[in-house]
Amino acid sequence: MRAHAAALSPPALLFTWLGALVFFISLAYFLFSYLTTFGVAAPAGAAAPAITWNVVFFTVFALHHSVFARERIRTAISRALPQPLERSFYVWIASVMFIAVCALWQPVPGVAWRVEGPLVWVLRAVQAAGVWLTLHSAVALDIRDLAGLRAARRGPIEFKTSGPYGWVRHPIYTGWFLMVFAASPMTMTRLVFAVVSCAYLIVAIPLEERSMINAEASAYEKYRRQVPWRLVPRIY
């Protein structure tokens, strides 16, 4: 962290720290939205326009991730910005777009399911486990990287095989699945968000792994042999 700080001018350092702040705000705003406003059943009405808007808007957000993962785009950004700011620039855009997705997500009429009694606490426990797994996996991966507070790593990447990364290769995504689906009432507003966001993750995983193989073929192939499951141990 000190090496990163020393490499940046005060304005650039402010840019990275503000980007990290927006990153954490976006996560907090998502949790607030999903646990509160998304859980309010929308009044009866046409669902198709709201679903279409939500799917299109989330797709735009998802395409940003895919576009920025392309080596050509990353090279162009690195030419325009100091190299340590490349990740922070990505974090800024992704965080602002995620806030916009949550703020502009349209309510969809209907409730998919609602559980009562002890089952409510079971779902809440599963949801809490999802939040814990997501955060714990992010910390294990180094949340400073995710927040854009570290310069790009140099040299070979070390793939962790301890903790959640020894269970599955994408534990952050596993936690996300638990977090968004273990909800009651599962309003259609929530369900559309859960299905669309998780569908994106399913599509993104092979693309991410292909990028890792291109970048660190031998190391990542070794990691895949050690941890053969992507999301669910012994299933997928």
Domain ranges of the chain: 2-226
Classify burial at 51, counting beta carbons within 10 Å of its beta carbon; exposed 0-12, middle 13-18, buried 19 or more: middle
pLDDT value of position 7: 60
Give the pLDDT confidence score for residue 63 in this predicted structure.
Answer: 85
The residue to which tokens 């991966």 are assigned: 141
Angle, vertex CA 176, rays to CA 22 and CA 184, nearest 5: 105
- What b/e string do you get for 5-21 counting C-beta neighbours within 10 Å, with b at 16 or more? eeebeeebbebbbebbe
Amino acid at 9: S
pLDDT at site 8: 67
CA 115 – CA 41 distance, rounded (Å): 14
- CA separation for the pair 6, 2 (Å, rounded): 6
Task: Give the SS3 label for residue 77.
Answer: helix
Backbone torsions φ then ψ of 187, nearest 5 degrees: -65, 160
One digit per residue, the tens of pLDDT, for the chain of length 236 reads: 444 444 667 877 787 888 888 999 999 999 999 999 999 999 888 899 999 999 999 999 988 776 665 656 666 666 666 666 777 888 888 899 999 999 999 999 999 999 988 999 999 999 999 999 998 888 877 666 666 666 545 455 667 777 889 899 999 999 999 999 999 999 999 999 999 999 999 988 888 888 777 777 788 888 888 999 999 998 98
The confidence score (pLDDT) of residue 76 equals 66
- Check residue 13 and give its pLDDT: 79
pTM for the structure as a whole: 0.84
Q: CA-CA distance, 169 to 117, in Å (whole number)?
A: 35
d(CA 101, CA 65): 14
Tokens read off for 25: 């705000």
Closest CA to 203 of 97, 108, 69, 86: 69
Distance, C-alpha 27 to centroid of its chain: 9
Residues found in the chain: 236
Query: In this predicted structure, what is the pLDDT of residue 177?
Result: 96
| pLDDT at residue 15, rounded to an integer | 79
Tokens of 59: 């797709």
In this structure, are residues 177 and 195 in contact, taking their beta carbons and an 8 Å threshold? no
